[in-house]
Amino acid sequence: MGLIVVLIGMTLRYMPRTKPQEIKPQSSGSIVWDDVAGVDEAKAELREVVDFMRDPKRFKRLGAKVPKGILLHGPPGTGKTLLAKAVAHESNARFFAQSASSFVEMFAGLGAARIRRLFRVARKQAPAIIFIDELDAVGATRGKDISGEKDQTLNQLLVEMDGFESADNIVVVAASNLLDKLDPALLRPGRFDRQIFVSPPDLAGRQDILRVHSRDKPLGGVDLEMVARQTSGLAGADLANICNEAAIFAGRSLRDVVLMQDFEAALERVVAGMQSRRVINDHEKRVIAYHEAGHACAR
Ligand code: ADP
């Protein structure tokens, strides 16, 4: 009997606890439109949302239905989070950000409860932008997970989105890397019916992004167009990284200005770093093959 009591006590003690998570509006970091560069089309579409959040009556008078959900999709690091923050800041709305992966918990039903709470808190503090990052974590096609936790979470999200009226002055912005993996139910009218592709920047876009990220750095004759030409295929996050690395190189050489040679060195480091991440040798390939085969057998 004593043993059983001890066992139960220990189980309770070591069971993962789920702390009630506090949901507070985050500061959008004062991100303004000008901080986001090279994604002009996405910005133009999101400007409409800002107009609505600033003056909802103007649109309602005309009987216009206002978007409830906007899905930003595109490769990582292209500025989706940044755009959502800019929308919140420009429209004086509160910014609530959660990653969808944080909804998925061990215990079924917990994710759904979290979604419910998130919407409840946001509704109280409207106007608000709810930003859900990595939507694919819950939004993948339903019926594929065994525990049903993801499905429940996704269902709750759909319920919440159907439940709020545009009068609530809440807009849900979600980000996802892949559109075609998402459950089609999410993309229906009244849900994430606006999909905006956030593309990797082109040459002019890259130059603009480099300009944004070197605004606060004293440059000595750096040809940003040249740097932009050498960075095709890189996303905004990589470019931000290059600007920062260049400033670090300059600092290490005890100079007061950042020179072209610092950018060259930064480019080499960032691009080479990316290559070494991608290239794997034969031994690693073999190890990965065994590892993946293990997954396949476990199914
Ligand atoms: P995503 O959400 O698409 O993965 P983020 O918005 O989190 O990308 O971008 C990460 C960082 O990269 C930003 O904080 C910013 O410093 C930089 N960045 C990315 N895209 C842009 C952009 N279009 N303009 C300016 N900076 C950018």
- Give me the domain span that covers residue 119: 12-197
Question: Do the beta carbons of residue 239 and residue 213 sit within 8 Å?
Answer: yes
Mutate to test the pocket of ligand 1, among 82, 133, 173, 216 (most ligand atoms within 8 A of CB): 82
Phi, psi for 22 (deg, rounded to 5): -85, 135
Provide the domain count of the chain: 2
200 lines ligand 1 (CB under 6 A): no
Output the tens digit of pLDDT for each of the chain's 299 residues.
Answer: 788 888 887 776 766 555 545 566 676 668 888 999 999 889 998 998 898 888 888 888 888 877 888 999 988 999 999 999 999 999 888 898 888 888 776 566 777 888 888 888 888 887 889 999 988 887 776 666 666 677 788 888 888 888 776 557 888 999 998 888 788 888 888 888 888 999 899 999 999 999 999 999 998 888 899 999 998 889 999 999 999 999 999 999 999 999 999 999 999 888 877 666 566 678 878 888 888 898 888 76
In a shared domain, residues 180 and 232: no
Using DSSP's 3-state secondary structure scheme, residue 161 falls into helix
Is 109 part of any domain?
Answer: yes
199 lines ligand 1 (CB under 6 A): no
Is 283 part of any domain?
Answer: no
Q: Where are the beta strands (DSSP E) in 113-259?
A: 128-133, 170-176, 194-197, 219-220, 258-259
Note if 292 is an active site residue. yes
Please report the pLDDT score of residue 153 as a whole number: 81
In a shared domain, residues 47 and 183: yes
Is 144 part of any domain?
Answer: yes
Q: What is the Å distance from ligand 1's center to 219 Cα?
A: 22
Is 4 part of any domain?
Answer: no
Please report the pLDDT score of residue 299 as a whole number: 65
Please give the number of the atom of ligand 1 that sits closest to the Cα of 38: 23
Is 143 part of any domain?
Answer: yes
In a shared domain, residues 249 and 193: no
Please give the number of the atom of ligand 1 that sits closest to the Cα of 83: 6
Nearest of 68, 66, 85 to residue 133 by alpha carbon: 85
In a shared domain, residues 24 and 159: yes
Domain boundary among 166, 197, 228: 197
Please report the pLDDT score of residue 276 as a whole number: 60
Cα dihedral value 114, 115, 116, 117, nearest 10: 50
Q: What span, in angstroms and rounded, lies between the C-alpha atoms of 131 and 136? A: 13
Please give the number of the atom of ligand 1 that sits closest to the Cα of 37: 24
Domain boundary among 139, 172, 197: 197
In a shared domain, residues 128 and 238: no
Is 288 part of any domain?
Answer: no
Q: What span, in angstroms and rounded, lies between the C-alpha atoms of 233 and 225? A: 15
In a shared domain, residues 177 and 218: no
In a shared domain, residues 142 and 238: no
Which CATH number characterizes residue 215's domain?
1.10.8.60
In a shared domain, residues 154 and 218: no
77 lines ligand 1 (CB under 6 A): yes
Using DSSP's 3-state secondary structure scheme, residue 96 falls into strand
In a shared domain, residues 67 and 188: yes
Amino acid at 213: H
Q: What span, in angstroms and rounded, lies between the C-alpha atoms of 222 and 220? A: 6
Within 10 A of 282 (CB to CB), how many other CB atoms are there? 7
Q: What is the Å distance from ligand 1's center to 236 Cα?
A: 5
Tell me how far apart the 2 most distant CA atoms of the chain are, in Å.
Answer: 80
Domain boundary among 197, 228, 261: 197
In a shared domain, residues 133 and 18: yes
Residue 38: partners with Cβ closer than 8 Å, 6 or more residues away: 79, 201, 202, 204, 205, 206, 208, 209, 236
Please report the pLDDT score of residue 65 as a whole number: 76
In a shared domain, residues 172 and 235: no
In a shared domain, residues 105 and 161: yes
239 lines ligand 1 (CB under 6 A): no
